[in-house]
Each structure stands twice: as C-alpha cells, then as structure tokens.
Amino acid sequence: MNRIGKFIVLDILKNKIVLVYTLILAILSWSVFSLEDNSTKGLLTLLNVILLTVPLVSVIFSTIYIYNSSEFIELLLSQPIRRSKIWFSLFFGLSISLLLAFFIGAGIPILFYAPSDVGIMMLLVGIFITVVFVAIAFLSSIATRDKAKGIGIAILLWMFFALLFDGVVLFLIFQFADYPIEKIMVGITALNPIDLARILILLHLDVSAMMGYTGAIFKNFFGNQVGIIAAFTILLLWVAVPFLISLRKFRKKDL
C-alpha cells in the first residue's frame, strides 16, 4: 500500500463514525449469534445488515469523507503526486478501512459461529458490497461540487439499489406473470449488486427451496462454478466501472 493510502487509513480509523460502525456491527453480530440457538437465524439477521446497513454506511460515509478530503486532495495536488494516484489512494484507503470495520464487526463473529459455506459466502459478499458502495460513493461525490447534493445522490442510489429496485422487479414479475421471464429476471438482477449478493447467499442459505422450479434456474445460473465466477465478476465490474468513471472525471476536475 502506498504512503498516501496509509495516511488515509490511519485518518479514517481514528474517525469516530467508523469506530461506532464497527462497534454496532460487532454488538449486533455477537448478540444475534449468541441469542439464537441455531446459527441460521443469526445469519439471516446479518443478511439484512449486509444488504442494508453495510451499503448505506459505506456509501454515505465514503461520500462525506471524499467531500471532507477536498482540502487534503488540494494539499496533495500541490505536491508532485500524480492525480490518479491520489484518487486511487483515497479509494483504497476508504475501502480498506471500511473492510476492516466490517471484518472486525461482522466477519469475526461469522467465522466464529458459522464457519460454513454460507458464512464464508456472506463474508465474501459483505466485502464486495462494501467496496462496490465505496466505488458508488466516488461516483456520486465527483458528480457535483455541492456536498449536500452529493450526499443526496448517494442516499438516492442506496435507496434505489436497496429498496426501489426490488419493487420494480416485483412489479415486472406480476406484470409478466404469464410469460417465461425467469431467465430475463436473472439478467435484470445482475444490474443490482445488492440483489446479486442476496441471491448468492440465498443459494447457500435456502438451497432446498432453490432447487425448486424457479430456483433451479438461478441455481443453474449462479450455482455452479462458472456462475459464481460470473457473479463475482459482475460484482467486480460494479467496483471497477463506477470508480473508473469517477477517476476519469477526477483527472479533468478543476480544484
């Protein structure tokens, strides 16, 4: 890791919000696992955390942090440092700190109580979701100079992916109930990283139900090795594409 990244990580780790985030994740994870007698229920609670809280915190915290770093970025820009390096360092710094928070808060309890394939998948998916929403934060904070607007865009994007998108999909499913739309639906889900993450976990958590009629189609698609690689490639694209777009914009941005 480069030196700027190190400074950023150290700076974020001192940030109270990240500490609180870690603490909340930890309290939540340890309590759901120790209160429930089977780990499946604990995993279910964590699933909702991973699908809602993790993206929300990742995207909003990162957006705010990027805006608040404008001075820092300015300071660095007057130094002999490549622009893209600054942006990359910021990205790695944010990702690593939030991943660390996620891993300490949720990862350790998962590994402790549910070191099964569901647990591992959850950990992986949580990691990807964190980084994806950090990347989305970069996109929303480069979109406008106005901090309030930027945070607004970040929240809207989160709402869209976490809530609205599913509503649209449900609507489509009801509208086209008479048509064989399963395969198209698989494609549509790939457009939402949260849904993709959820289905990856579902395939492990509800494997019996997923062997049913529609489930089988997802299982066939996402369940085998090729599918899993495809799913993670798509998640990786969800990291790369927003970030690279933001990088392109940042390189041409006036500060």
Give me the residues that bind another protein (CB under 8 A), please: 3-4, 7, 11, 14-15, 38, 40-41, 44, 47-48, 51-52, 68-72, 74-83, 162-163, 166-167, 169-170, 173-174, 177, 181-182, 185-186, 189, 195, 198-199, 201-202, 205-216, 218, 252-255
Q: How far is the CB of 76 from another protein (least distance, A)?
A: 8
Q: How far is the CB of 149 from another protein (least distance, A)?
A: 16
Nearer to another protein, 155 or 241 (CB): 155
Contact status, residue 21 vs residue 101, Cβ threshold 8 Å: yes
Nearer to another protein, 52 or 155 (CB): 52
Q: How far is the CB of 151 from another protein (least distance, A)?
A: 18
Distances (CA, A) of 86 to 77, 89, 178, 239, 246: 8, 5, 52, 18, 12
Q: How far is the CB of 235 from another protein (least distance, A)?
A: 17
- 3-state SS of 126-183 is HHHHHHHHHHHHHHHHHHCCCHHHHHHHHHHHHHHHHHHHHHHHHHHHHHCCCCCCHH
Report helix angle 83-102 to 16-35, nearest 10: 30
Nearer to another protein, 111 or 163 (CB): 163
Nearer to another protein, 207 or 241 (CB): 207
Nearer to another protein, 108 or 207 (CB): 207
Q: Long-range CB contacts (< 8 A, 24+ apart) of 13-18?
A: 13/97, 13/100, 15/65, 17/61, 18/61, 18/97, 18/98, 18/101
Contact status, residue 210 vs residue 223, Cβ threshold 8 Å: yes
Nearer to another protein, 8 or 239 (CB): 8
Nearer to another protein, 118 or 239 (CB): 118
